[in-house]
Each structure stands twice: as structure tokens, then as C-alpha cells.
């Protein structure tokens, strides 16, 4: 990992950005690397400062860095070995004059991109694909394809890496399609870092939801209480609502950030169409 031509740490770096899913994906990548016996640490916007890790005498083999748009804005020469973009949607419009300005800071992840870097991109998100256009490096994509059937609704069965099954969906301890996408993104990044599919599968099965992120708190009297207080924008609230598979009461609060609230309202009323889902990650050729 470099800033300009100066190396900051001896180890290599995986950077994760996007509007939502950054923290879960960052923690999951670090978890998968450690499952393979690698010295890895999650740093950056997730909590522990990158600068603190850079000062360690015993360098990590991999640093997994959660990077926000604000941090990219202030560090335009940040250059990871592997970069991940989870998704893009409107956010921070209380700070940015437009969605385009917000995306422009996200695009700084690709600044000075070269052939030695590798990118993991959300293949279902055209804004992500547009952001990475012309980055001049190797890429792979993950997809959550929707299959609709007339009059029936089949539950998803597995996550795949290329043509091979990684884990059954029921073995993943995370709620919602968005977390399946996060798991695929993390698996692809860790696979590019050298983690074998069997180890990826074990790591995916053992990873639990982080605090405040669709976290199962407790079930009392048949009522499951879920803490999703880190859903701080409309898009993350929407995917949380869509993750519910039984009747629910939605408790909301927070500060207005310039986005309309109609999408989660429509989802809560059941106005959004349902579909059968097959989740697939595709490694690089």
C-alpha cells in the first residue's frame, strides 16, 4: 500500500468502499484471511486507525481497510493491492452538493490504478461499473441474480464461487440479500489474496453479524429484536426491510440527510415485488 511513491506499511492492503456494507465486508475479509492463518487486521473507518497499524513493529501480511468517501477525498493517492466496491446509492447529501460529487470522491479509489491491482465490483450495480470504467486493472464481479417464477417463490439455496458451491445459504449467519452480496464480495477479495475455497467456506459459516448491523439481539415471547442502528441512510434501511421474512414493526429515527423516504415505506407495505434469488460470485479469468 502506498501514498504517492512512499510505502506506508510492509504488508499488503485490501480496501473496501461503497455506500453500504463496507464494515461488514471489511470485517468478513479480515475474518477469512485469519481463517487461512494469515496475519490480518481490519482498520480504517471500521474503528482502528490505519496510521496506528502502520506503526506496529510486527507488520501484518494484510491490512483490510474500510474507506469512506471523506477519507478518499483526504487521501487521493491511496493505492490498495485489492479494491472492493460494495454498492453505490445517494448518501451524505447534507455534505455533498450532488450525488455526482459524492461518487467522484468514491472514484478516487481508482486514482493512479495500475495493472498490479485487482478490483472486486458489484456486477448488479451499474453505478459501480461506471465508476470503475477505465481503471486499467484486473477485475471480477459478484452478482445476486433474481429469478422470478409465476405463482411460486423458491428460497435461495447456495452461494457459489464460479461454478463451485461455497456454502448453503442457510449456513450463512447473516440476514438479507445485501449480506449475501457482502459475503460474495469478501470471498472474492480473500480468494484473490490466496485463500482456498474450502477455507473460505469455513470462514463464511463461522462469521456472525457485527453489532448494530441487523444484529439479532434477543427473542422474547416469540418476538425477535433486531438492532440495525447502523442503517444511517435510506438505501441501508431499505435492504434491512427487505431482509425481513416475518411480520415486523419498524422503529426509525435519526437525522435527515437529503434523501426521500418513499422506498422503505413502499417496501414496508409490501409494494416491492419479490423474486427467487440465486447468488453467484465469479472469480477472474
CA distances in angstroms from 35 to 2, 187, 199, listed in the order given: 26, 12, 7
**pLDDT at residue 183, rounded to an integer:** 95
Closest CA to 3 of 59, 57, 67, 46: 67
CA atoms within 13 A on the CB side of 8: 19
Supply the DSSP string of 37-59, one letter for each residue.
Answer: T--EEEEETTSS-HHHHHT-SS-
Residues 6 or more apart in contact with residue 163 via CB below 8 angstroms: none
Residue with cell 496510521: 51
**pLDDT at residue 274, rounded to an integer:** 44
Residues 6 or more apart in contact with residue 5 via CB below 8 angstroms: none
- Give the pLDDT means over successive 10-residue stretches in the chain (285 positions): 50 93 95 97 91 80 96 91 94 91 95 89 95 86 69 66 90 86 96 97 91 78 83 77 77 76 71 43 48
Q: What residues act catalytically?
A: 22, 45, 92
Sign of the Cα torsion 267, 272, 274, 280 reads negative
Q: Which domains does the chain have, with CATH numbers?
A: 2-211+276-282 (3.40.1190.10), 215-268 (no CATH)
Beta-sheet pairing, 164-168 with 158-161? antiparallel
**pLDDT at residue 275, rounded to an integer:** 40
Residues 6 or more apart in contact with residue 49 via CB below 8 angstroms: 43
**pLDDT at residue 160, rounded to an integer:** 92
**pLDDT at residue 107, rounded to an integer:** 95
Phi, psi of 43 (to 5 degrees): -140, 180
State the DSSP code for 18.
S
Amino acid at each position: 500500500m502506498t501514498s504517492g511513491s512512499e510505502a506506508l506499511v510492509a504488508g499488503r492492503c485490501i480496501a473496501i468502499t461503497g455506500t453500504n456494507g463496507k464494515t461488514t465486508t471489511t470485517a468478513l475479509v479480515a475474518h477469512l484471511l485469519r481463517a487461512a492463518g494469515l496475519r490480518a487486521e481490519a482498520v480504517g473507518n471500521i474503528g482502528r486507525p490505519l496510521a496506528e497499524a502502520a506503526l506496529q513493529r510486527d507488520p501484518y501480511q494484510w491490512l483490510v481497510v474500510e474507506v469512506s468517501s471523506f477519507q478518499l477525498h483526504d487521501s487521493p493517492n491511496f493505492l490498495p493491492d485489492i479494491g472492493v466496491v460494495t454498492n453505490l446509492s445517494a448518501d451524505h447529501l447534507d455534505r455533498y452538493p450532488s450525488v455526482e460529487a459524492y461518487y467522484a470522491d468514491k472514484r478516487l479509489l481508482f486514482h493512479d490504478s495500475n495493472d498490479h491491482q485487482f478490483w472486486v465490483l458489484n456486477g448488479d450495480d451499474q453505478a459501480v461499473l461506471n465508476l470503475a470504467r477505465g481503471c486499467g486493472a484486473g477485475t471480477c464481479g459478484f452478482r445476486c441474480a433474481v429469478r422470478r417464477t409465476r405463482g411460486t417463490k423458491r428460497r435461495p439455496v447456495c452461494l457459489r464461487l464460479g461454478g463451485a458451491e461455497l456454502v448453503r445459504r442457510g449456513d450463512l449467519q447473516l440476514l438479507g440479500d445485501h449480506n449475501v452480496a457482502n459475503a460474495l464480495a469478501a470471498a472474492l477479495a480473500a480468494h484473490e489474496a490466496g485463500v482456498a475455497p474450502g477455507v473460505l467456506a469455513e470462514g463464511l459459516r463461522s462469521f456472525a453479524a457485527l453489532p448494530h448491523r441487523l444484529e439479532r439481539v434477543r427473542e422474547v415471547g416469540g418476538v425477535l429484536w433486531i438492532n440495525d442502528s447502523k442503517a444511517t441512510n435510506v438505501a441501508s434501511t431499505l435492504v434491512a426491510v427487505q431482509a425481513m421474512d416475518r411480520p415486523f414493526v419498524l422503529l426509525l429515527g435519526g437525522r435527515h440527510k437529503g434523501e426521500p423516504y418513499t422506498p422503505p415505506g413502499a417496501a414496508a407495505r409490501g409494494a416491492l415485488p419479490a423474486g427467487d434469488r440465486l447468488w453467484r460470485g465469479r472469480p477472474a479469468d
